[in-house]
């Protein structure tokens, strides 16, 4: 199945990360045919990286922490956010 949007979010333990995670879950529940939550660490796995692009039209990173781990992973793999 191809999703319109594959949403990535670090599920870290900071307060803003937890709040953003809850919001992402709510959005994906409200739009199950269009939006799916992707596994952020999976972007560095070569075969999974290919599957991410095959299964989604767009990818969105929700960065809710000043450490910006997700941004680093996206940039490392050449994914535009």
Give, for all 81 residues of the chain, the pLDDT tens digit: 788 999 998 877 788 888 889 999 999 999 999 999 998 889 999 898 889 889 999 999 998 888 888 888 899 988 877
Residue 25: give the domain boundaries.
Answer: 3-77
Which position has the token pair 């929700």?
A: 62
Residue 3 has a pLDDT of: 87
Which position has the token pair 């809710």?
A: 64
Residue 1 has a pLDDT of: 74
Residue 36 has a pLDDT of: 93
Domain count, the chain: 1
Name the DSSP class of 17.
Answer: H
Residue 63 has a pLDDT of: 87
Residue 79 has a pLDDT of: 86
User: What's the burial of 70, exposed, middle or buried (CB within 10 Å: 0-12/13-18/19+)?
Assistant: buried
Strand pairing report for 3-9 and 35-38? parallel
Residue 5 has a pLDDT of: 94
């Amino acid at each position: 199945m191809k999703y319109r949007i594959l949403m990535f979010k670090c599920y870290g333990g900071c307060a803003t990360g937890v709040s953003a995670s809850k919001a992402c879950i709510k959005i994906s529940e409200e739009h199950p045919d269009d939006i799916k939550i992707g596994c952020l660490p999976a972007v560095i796995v070569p075969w999974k990286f290919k599957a991410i692009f095959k299964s989604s039209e767009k990818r969105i990173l929700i960065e809710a922490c000043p450490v910006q781990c997700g941004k680093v992973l996206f940039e490392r793999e050449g994914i535009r956010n």
